[in-house]
Amino acid sequence: MDYVRLINCMRCGMCLPSCPTYKETCLETASPRGRVALVRKIQEGQLLESERLLHYLSLCLDCQACASACPCGVNPGELVADFTCERKERDGLGFMEEVILRHLLPHPDRLEASVAPLRLYQKIGLQRVVRKLGIMKVFPEPIERMESLLPALPRRPLRQEIMEVTAAEGSEKGRIGFFLGCVMSLVFTDASRATVRLLSSLGYTVITPKSQVCCGAPNMLGGDKKGLEEAARTNIDVFNQLDVDFIVTDCGGCGAELKKYKKNAELEGSEKFSSKVRDISEILSLHSEELSKKFRPLPMKVTYHDPCHIAHCQGIRAEPRKLLRIVPGLEFSELEAADSCCGSGGNYNITRPEMAEMILDRKLETIRKSGADVVVTGNPGCLLQLKEGLSRQMPEVRLMHLTELLVQSLDA
Amino acid sequence: MQESFVRELRNIAGERNVLTDPESLAVYGYDSTPELEGAPGAVILPSGAEEVARIMRLCSGSGINVTVRGSGTNLSGGTISSADGVVIQTSRMNRIIEIDEENLTATVEPGVITSTLHREVEALGLFYPPDPGSMNISTMGGNIAENSGGLRGLKYGVTSDYVMGLETVLADGGLLKTGGKAVKDVAGYRINPLLVSSEGTLGFFTGITVKLIPKPKAKITMLAHFPLLQDAAYAVSSIIAAKVIPATLEFLDKVTIRCVEDFAHVGLPLDVDAVLLVEVDGHPAAIAEEAISVEEICRKHNCTFFQRAKDADEGLKLAAARRTALSALARVKPTTILEDATVPRSCIAAMLKIIRESADRHNVTIGTFGHAGDGNLHPTCLTDERDKDEIARAHAAFEEIFDAAIAMGGTITGEHGIGVAKKKYLPKLSGENGIRIMRGIKKVFDPAGILNPGKIF
Ligand SMILES: Cc1cc2nc3c(=O)[nH]c(=O)nc-3n(C[C@H](O)[C@H](O)[C@H](O)COP(=O)(O)OP(=O)(O)OC[C@H]3O[C@@H](n4cnc5c(N)ncnc54)[C@H](O)[C@@H]3O)c2cc1C
């Protein structure tokens, strides 16, 4: 690891108020400043890579709020992630990590097949029975947690149903390659359908190549750099072959990862690929004038939760708000600390459930205070996490992906 | 640390609130001061004054040194401990006890974050002016112990101007109550001003009562661009000489402007030598007039562009950007050594000249920003801790700057404190008698010398 990136932290503490885990604990070990110091001390040979130290580091959500807050340009979350990658490169992946990251995620068919039993489990009513009987209590906590996060699954993953080419409505104004996130395709198919619909209504031909694979973000999260590079290689080749103006995704996590491909200079074509990547809100807000004419009134009280991967990783804050504000009749109110993590953090809510829950509770409280009846966001991780929390505490509040709401206004 | 001692600490503060693992000790071994570190033997997070008193009694009985720590943002090494001492961290003591609207006071525990107090009192139309650049991180206890200044110091003064009452746990665990809510009090020596800026060497503040004032009705934030550094400095003295007292009169030089703009993107000019950030607040009619005077004076001093924030939001953004100055300077090089020399405000121009000359002479890069209206500048050397030669040159340059500040009737630190970092310069400033009296005071408060040893002298 590049030592200068570590000593660049001047320990001013500007990151402290932004860090969700510091806010909960007020402990320096759970702060970005502290994490950089811990990694630095390992490099300097002053601390051992103990289990406890790794446990401290694993409390990081990699939400990157600290990177947004840091005036010195240090990115503590990324430093921790890079450290984990280097460690795994040296020590190898764990058995389950190997199975999931190398043998499941890179193969959409296998991934989809693996979800099928879950769908069946829900469909035949087993989920209700299991939940009622509390059977999950006998499983290890992570599995119980995973089960509770699972919303109703669609009949089939979108990847299997969507057409490779969706024609532009009217004359073609541009061409877009659609990057279909795994979770969006498996769980939030309606939102991704809405995305395609909005794009085509604006005159874009939408091409969704079926040979695309997972963006590799889970690999990065698991410290599997090689897996990430393989995923990137495939996606770059698939999309660079297409004649498209933009590569669009409606998954904040994918967008952040795809934009980062270009950081890896050894991946040929990554610059071309990443420079075309856009979050859906970026494209739609280019057409806000046209959309504002098309939108019909939606009398709702709406607030917006900034996904970390959209606000902190991609710096996109204004666009989604601009789009919500042009929906007639919609009453928009800001969420307090809107860009503070909801506790989802990739698989964080499974690996560190207690912390994730405290962070989620704080978020739910701000939602309650906002008085909104609809919460909008743009990332499937947040959708899963918030859905679980809202259904438990505020079932009357609806949760929607940005495109789901906008398409309603289009069709209203 | 002895097992039995740690066990007793745990009995008092609870198992989870006494940390002794090497990782925790390491991260409580630094603060925002460059080049200084030292891990304590244990870190304790008490929940309130009573626990603090018991811990202090235990430590003094066992002869264990104690360093109090707020958020660890001080810039003079004030929270650096050694392995045979303990750090007591105030973060769990973070309740606002009371906001008294009849007496215009607020009483808080020491771990309350400065800007949290701002928010709470402002919601009631009240105002607690001290606003250090670190206000979103720093604690009230730290502010009191360092007598922190802020961006609004020119008009409103510094922390000590607001401290009315203190509850202090002494080295032996006894309690000292000084001052209170009465606005007048001449009973005996004034102890509060002594405790304010004591840098954790005289006692542990557990209760703090500060004065509040009504919140100013309106404010206007302005930014003036100066192609020449000296002109900005003269404008500062002229504004004050013209009997306009802005709340804020902050200075940023070219190096600082670039770094801040690079991070904050608030539209600072990249082609000028200096900017002044000026804020006037008060009654709308009065500040409208003051803003005009400020603009006239700046223009007279060759300001090429004068901008008024178009709304409160833009004003807040400019002030927030200014608060990042120190940290933003660290974008350029890994290590930033910042100083705090303060001179009578009529000497600002002369001081700026000396800073530039010293930097050139010693071949180091120094960016300067600061509370110009208070005569308090922060020349900041951008360097790399691994380059021992450059570090030595930086310190040589600062030595000259300090000498100049003292010669002008100023001081070596306006608000960051002596701590460890500036210890060696204090005798030059205070003289033999000054040091002798300070040592005497320390002896009365802390005869065994267990409170933050090695700081100040
Ligand atoms: C980016 C940045 C900007 C800054 N801007 C300013 C500024 O504009 N003006 C300014 O004056 N300073 C500024 N500072 C310095 C610093 O923030 C202040 O000194 C602040 O008051 C320290 O607060 P803290 O809670 O971090 O205290 P700490 O650093 O934790 O402690 C500081 C000292 O206070 C003592 N202490 C803490 N709590 C107690 C207590 N309860 N009882 C007794 N002693 C106690 C400690 O022992 C130590 O000696 C800045 C620092 C940074 C990093």
| Least confident piece of the model among A103-107, B197-201, B336-340 | A103-107
Averaged over A24-35, what is the pLDDT?
A: 96
pLDDT > 80? residue A273: yes
pLDDT given for residue A123 in this prediction: 65
pLDDT given for residue B48 in this prediction: 97
Burial state string for A213-233 with b = 16 or more CB within 10 A and e = fewer than 16:
bbbbbbbbbbbbbebbbbbbb
pLDDT given for residue A108 in this prediction: 80
pLDDT > 70? residue B132: yes
Residue B437 confidence class, pLDDT cut points 50, 70, 90: very high
Residue B13 maps to which CATH number? 3.30.43.10
Query: Does residue B455 lie within any of the structural domains?
Result: no
- Say what percent of chain A tops pLDDT 90: 71
Q: Whose CA is nearest to atom 11 of ligand 1?
A: B148
Determine the length of chain B. 457
* Residue that terminates a domain, selected from B45, B65, B89: B89
φ, ψ dihedrals at B431, nearest 5°: 75, 170
Residue B388 confidence class, pLDDT cut points 50, 70, 90: very high
Q: B143 C-alpha vs ligand 1 centroid, how far in Å? A: 5
pLDDT given for residue B436 in this prediction: 97
Going by the DSSP 8-state scheme, the letter that residue A101 receives in this structure is I
Tell me which residue in B23, B32, B45 faces A11 most closely, judged by beta carbons: B32
Averaged over B103-115, what is the pLDDT?
A: 98
pLDDT > 90? residue A115: no
Give the nearest ligand 1 atom to B144 CA. 21
Q: Are the CB atoms for A255 and A279 separated by under 8 Å?
A: yes
Could you tell me which of B442, B452, B454, B443 has the C-alpha nearest to residue B195? B442
The string of pLDDT tens digits covering residues A231-245 is 999 999 999 999 999
Residues of A with Cβ-Cβ distance to B91 under 8 angstroms = 26-27
Residue B105 confidence class, pLDDT cut points 50, 70, 90: very high
Tell me which residue in A16, A29, A37 faces B30 most closely, judged by beta carbons: A37
Tell me, yes or no, whether B116 and B152 share the same domain: yes
pLDDT > 70? residue A120: no
Tell me, yes or no, whether B85 and B102 share the same domain: no
- Label each residue of chain B as H, E or C: CCHHHHHHHHHHHCHHHEECCHHHHHHCCCCCCCCCCCCCCEEECCCCHHHHHHHHHHHHHHCCEEEEECCCCCCCCCCCCCCCEEEEECCCCCCEEEEECCCCEEEECCCCEHHHHHHHHHCCCEECCCCCCCCCCCEHHHHHHHCCCCCCHHHHCCHHHCEEEEEEECCCCCEEEEECCCCCCCCCCCCHHHHCCCCCCCCEEEEEEEECEECCCEEEEEEEEECCHHHHHHHHHHHHHCCCCCCEEEEEEHHHHHHHHHHHCCCCCCCCCEEEEEEEEECHHHHHHHHHHHHHHHHHCCCCEEEECCCHHHHHHHHHHHHCHHHHHCCCCCEEEECECECCHHHHHHHHHHHHHHHHHCCCEEEEEEEHHHCEEEEEEEECCCCHHHHHHHHHHHHHHHHHHHHCCCECECCCCCCCCCHHHHHHHHHHHHHHHHHHHHHHHCCCCCECCCCCC
pLDDT given for residue A136 in this prediction: 55
pLDDT > 60? residue A139: no
Q: What is the C-alpha radius of gyration for chain B, rounded to an integer number of angstroms?
A: 22
Query: Does residue B457 lie within any of the structural domains?
Result: no
Are B328 and A56 in contact (CB < 8 Å)? no
pLDDT > 60? residue A142: no
The string of pLDDT tens digits covering residues B303-358 is 999 999 999 999 999 999 999 999 999 998 999 999 999 999 999 999 999 999 99
Q: B132 C-alpha vs ligand 1 centroid, how far in Å? A: 9
pLDDT given for residue A145 in this prediction: 62
Residue B454 confidence class, pLDDT cut points 50, 70, 90: very high
Averaged over A377-396, what is the pLDDT?
A: 94
Tell me, yes or no, whether B224 and B171 share the same domain: no
pLDDT > 80? residue A375: yes
Are A12 and B330 in contact (CB < 8 Å)? yes
Neighbouring residues of B24: CB distance < 8 A, sequence distance ≥ 6? A27, A28, A29, B43
Q: Are the CB atoms for A136 and A130 separated by under 8 Å?
A: yes
Residue A124 confidence class, pLDDT cut points 50, 70, 90: low
pLDDT > 70? residue A140: no
What's the topology of domain A290-411?
A: Rossmann fold (3.40.50)
pLDDT given for residue A130 in this prediction: 60
- Say what percent of chain B tops pLDDT 90: 98
Q: Can you read off the two tokens belonging to residue A163?
A: 């057409």
pLDDT given for residue A225 in this prediction: 87
For chain B, the residues whose C-beta falls within 8 A of a C-beta of chain A are 21-24, 26-28, 30-32, 34, 45, 71-73, 91-92, 94, 113, 134, 136-137, 259-260, 263-264, 324, 326-328, 330-331, 334-336, 385-386
Residue B230 confidence class, pLDDT cut points 50, 70, 90: very high
The string of pLDDT tens digits covering residues A160-189 is 889 999 999 999 999 999 999 888 998 999
Q: How far is B132 from chain A (nearest CA, A)?
A: 13
CA A194 to CA B253: how far, in whole Å?
51
| Domain carrying residue B138 | 96-214
Q: How far is B112 from chain A (nearest CA, A)?
A: 12
* Residue that terminates a domain, selected from B295, B327, B359: B327
Q: How far is A73 from chain B (nearest CA, A)?
A: 6
Number of structural domains chain B divides into: 4
pLDDT > 70? residue A134: no
Q: Decide yes or no: CATH 3.40.50.261 for domain A158-284.
A: no
Residues of B with Cβ-Cβ distance to A73 under 8 angstroms = 263, 331
Query: Does residue B150 lie within any of the structural domains?
Result: yes
Output the average pLDDT for chain A: 90
Give the nearest ligand 1 atom to B198 CA. 44
The string of pLDDT tens digits covering residues B261-314 is 999 999 999 999 999 999 999 999 999 999 999 999 999 999 999 999 999 999
- Say what percent of chain B tops pLDDT 70: 100
Q: How far is B47 from chain A (nearest CA, A)?
A: 13
Best residue of B18, B20, B21, B27 to probe chain A, by most A CBs closer than 10 Å:
B27
pLDDT > 80? residue A83: yes
Q: If one looks up domain A3-91 in CATH, what number appears?
A: 1.10.1060.10
ipTM of the assembly? 0.94
The helix/strand/coil state of A242 is: coil
pLDDT > 60? residue A338: yes
Are B72 and A13 in contact (CB < 8 Å)? yes
| Least confident piece of the model among A100-109, B47-56, B152-161, B326-335 | A100-109
| Predicted TM-score (pTM) above 0.90 | yes
Residue B197 maps to which CATH number? 3.30.465.10
pLDDT > 90? residue A131: no
Best residue of A11, A22, A74, A79 to probe chain B, by most B CBs closer than 10 Å:
A11
Q: How far is B444 from chain A (nearest CA, A)?
A: 34
Tell me, yes or no, whether B186 and B290 share the same domain: no
pLDDT > 60? residue B391: yes
pLDDT given for residue A113 in this prediction: 76
Q: What are the start and end residues of each CATH 3.40.50.1860 domain in chain A?
A: 158-284
Averaged over A30-59, what is the pLDDT?
A: 95
Residues of B with Cβ-Cβ distance to A57 under 8 angstroms = none
| Least confident piece of the model among A125-134, A189-198, B191-200 | A125-134
Output the average pLDDT for chain B: 96
φ, ψ dihedrals at B165, nearest 5°: -140, 145
pLDDT given for residue A127 in this prediction: 63
Best residue of A72, A75, A334 to probe chain B, by most B CBs closer than 10 Å:
A72
Residue A291 confidence class, pLDDT cut points 50, 70, 90: very high
Give the residue from chain A lying closest to B24, CA to CA.
A29
Residue A94 confidence class, pLDDT cut points 50, 70, 90: confident
| Binding pocket residue ranges, ligand 1, CB within 6 Å | A 12-13; B 31-32, 67-75, 78-79, 90, 110, 132-134, 138-139, 141-143, 145-146, 148-150, 199-200, 204-205, 326-327, 415-416, 452
pLDDT given for residue A325 in this prediction: 97
